[in-house]
Amino acid sequence: MDSTDALVLVAPRELTARELPLPAIGADDGLLRVEACGLCGTDHEEFTGELFGGFPFIPGHESVGIVERIGARAAARWGVQEGDRVAVEVFLSCGSCDACRAGAHQRCERHGLADMYGYVSVDRAPALWGGYARHQYLAPDSVLHRVPAALDPVTATVFNPLGAGIRWGVTLPGTKTGDVVAVLGPGVRGLSACAAAKQAGAGFVMVTGHGERDHPRLEVASQFGADLAVDVSATDPVRALREATGGLADVVVDVTAKAPDAFPQSIRLARPGGTVVVAGTRGGRPVPDFNPDIVVYKELRVIGALGVDAEAYRAALDLLAARRYPFESLARRVAGFGTMDALLRDMAGEGEPPPVHAVFAPH
Ligand SMILES: [Zn+2]
Ligand SMILES: [Zn+2]
């Protein structure tokens, strides 16, 4: 076998199947046989063109698969062998810049956002830079995590949102035992943040959603650690939180997408001296009616969160393997080469209601 199949996004909404040559692997790199690749908001924004880079590329940046080929030095560096199931981080790490040494390779000075997986031109050799494919290239500066044997590859793709939930819901805000935590947004990242906060000992976890579409997500939230699920289109979340806990939140995590009202709501939900984590991007939209004085009066700590670190990814894989929360049975859609178009359109809100968790699998 010297070629493989991939889906190339040649232009917005033009996902084309292509046969591409498999690269020769040297001492420092490797090749992944993709088993599953998780999808997030970035995927459908790339598909619709909101995030299109102007070049053809293979999307997919939350890959899980089997190490099919690996060079000797790469095997030693990554601590994995051919045949191991691994999860691949989206960002590369040079390992030597200040950001990488601090474990924050999403800000790597050599790589950063410029060559994250799932967003590199197919014209750059060896083309296989994304997870919508049977094979993904493992560049020398890749960061891999071994997947615990108890996990199937599709469930293992939750390493990405759950890693985010752990970093955004616990590590960054410093969530501690007994804290009241409010999570805005009941998608897979929001549910993951609930589970992570509960796992870290939070005393009370509230999650919010908006409208009918979010009801199925709010309904399962209790299985993921939420004590209260609120539809903000019907109920004022500040009042609901006060009624349930007698106060406001120590930690607020905003993982909403396309909800400009959420940020002012986060600020209102936080107690004086509390922490607000603003995580993930929201399509470049400004926030209307935001009064920064409230941040001052309450002396809030507002933290931006871009990605996940290696520590959180490892903790996520361990928490998944422990099966304390039913991530394997999330409402999920797994699409193959022929059905990705429809799935991405649904995720973009243009068709059927989107699944809570969406995954590509190369079949
Ligand atoms: Zn993603
Ligand atoms: Zn670096």
Q: Is 84 a residue whose pLDDT tops 80?
A: yes
Mean of the pLDDT values across residues 109-113? Answer: 87
**Alpha carbon of 95 to ligand 1 centroid (Å):** 22
Q: Is 333 a residue whose pLDDT tops 90?
A: yes
Sheet containing 249-254, strands listed edge to edge, beginning at the edge strand earlier in sequence: 228-231, 204-209, 180-184, 249-254, 270-279, 301-305
Q: How confident is the model at residue 39 (pLDDT cuts 50, 70, 90)?
A: very high
Q: Each residue of 163-192: b (16+ CB within 10 Å) or e?
A: bbbbbbbbbbbebeeebbbbbbbbbbbbbb
Q: How confident is the model at residue 277 (pLDDT cuts 50, 70, 90)?
A: very high
Q: Is 96 exposed, middle or buried (0-12, 13-18, 19+ CB in 10 A)?
A: exposed
Q: Is 357 a residue whose pLDDT tops 90?
A: yes
**Alpha carbon of 239 to ligand 2 centroid (Å):** 45
- Which numbered ligand comes closest to the C-alpha of 46? 1
**Alpha carbon of 246 to ligand 1 centroid (Å):** 36
**Alpha carbon of 43 to ligand 1 centroid (Å):** 7
**Alpha carbon of 101 to ligand 2 centroid (Å):** 7
**Alpha carbon of 299 to ligand 1 centroid (Å):** 32
- Which numbered ligand comes closest to the C-alpha of 109? 2
**Alpha carbon of 140 to ligand 1 centroid (Å):** 21
Q: How confident is the model at residue 303 (pLDDT cuts 50, 70, 90)?
A: very high
Mean pLDDT rounded to a whole number for the chain: 95
**Alpha carbon of 112 to ligand 2 centroid (Å):** 8
**Alpha carbon of 304 to ligand 1 centroid (Å):** 17
- Which numbered ligand comes closest to the C-alpha of 307? 1
**Alpha carbon of 280 to ligand 1 centroid (Å):** 9
**Alpha carbon of 232 to ligand 1 centroid (Å):** 26
Contact criterion met (CB below 8 Å) for 283 and 258: yes
Contact criterion met (CB below 8 Å) for 163 and 311: no
- Structure confidence by residue, pLDDT tens digits, 346-356: 999 999 989 99
CA distances from 201 to 142, 189, 271, 327 (A): 33, 18, 19, 19
**Alpha carbon of 165 to ligand 1 centroid (Å):** 13
- Which numbered ligand comes closest to the C-alpha of 110? 2
Ion ligand 2: residues, CB < 5 A: 94, 97, 100, 108
- Structure confidence by residue, pLDDT tens digits, 139-165: 999 999 999 999 999 999 999 999 999
Neighbours of 144 (CB within 10 A): 23
**Alpha carbon of 62 to ligand 1 centroid (Å):** 6
Peptide bond into 362 cis (omega under 30): no
- Residue 53's closest CA among 12, 81, 91? 12
**Alpha carbon of 83 to ligand 1 centroid (Å):** 25
What pLDDT is attached to residue 61? 97
**Alpha carbon of 293 to ligand 1 centroid (Å):** 33
Q: Is 117 a residue whose pLDDT tops 80?
A: yes
First-to-last alpha carbon distance for the chain, in angstroms, is 17
**Alpha carbon of 12 to ligand 2 centroid (Å):** 31
**Alpha carbon of 61 to ligand 2 centroid (Å):** 18
